[in-house]
């Protein structure tokens, strides 16, 4: 089961995000929030491109 997803930000940057992130994940390029912790699987804010093995 994939634990990381590749998320695309509105700025066009893509980065891997841990599905079960315990803290807010921000875009490395523009600092926008890409994922918020939800006590389990994080809520992904950006556009999920694919799951990473
Ligand atoms: Zn961005």
3-state secondary structure labels for all residues of the chain? CCCEEEEECCCCCEEEEECCCCCCEECCCCCCEEEECCCCCCEECCEEEEEEC
pLDDT digits (tens, 9 = 90+) for 26-48: 999 999 999 999 999 999 999 99
> What predicted TM-score, i.e. pTM, was given to this entire model?
0.88
CA of 2 to the centre of ligand 1 (A): 23
pLDDT at 32: 98
Task: Give the per-residue pLDDT at 47.
Answer: 95
Q: What percent of the chain has pLDDT over 70?
A: 100
Q: How far is the CA of 8 from the centre of ligand 1 (A)?
A: 8
Distance between Cα 14 and ligand 1 center (Å):
8
CA of 4 to the centre of ligand 1 (A): 18
Please, how many CA atoms are within 13 Å of residue 40, restricted to the half-sphere of its CB? 0
Residue 33 CA to ligand 1 center (angstroms) comes to: 8
Domain parsing of the chain, residue ranges: 4-52
- Return d(Cα 47, Cα 53) in angstroms, integer: 18
* Residue 53 pLDDT class (50, 70, 90 cuts): confident
Superfamily name and number for 4-52: Ribosomal protein S27 (2.20.25.100)
Q: Quote the distance between the C-alpha of residue 6 and its chain's center.
A: 7
């Amino acid at each position: 089961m994939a634990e990381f997803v590749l998320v695309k930000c509105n700025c066009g940057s893509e980065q891997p995000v841990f599905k079960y992130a315990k803290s807010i994940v921000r875009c490395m390029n523009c600092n926008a929030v890409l994922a918020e912790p939800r006590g389990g699987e994080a809520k992904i804010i950006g556009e999920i491109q694919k799951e990473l093995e």
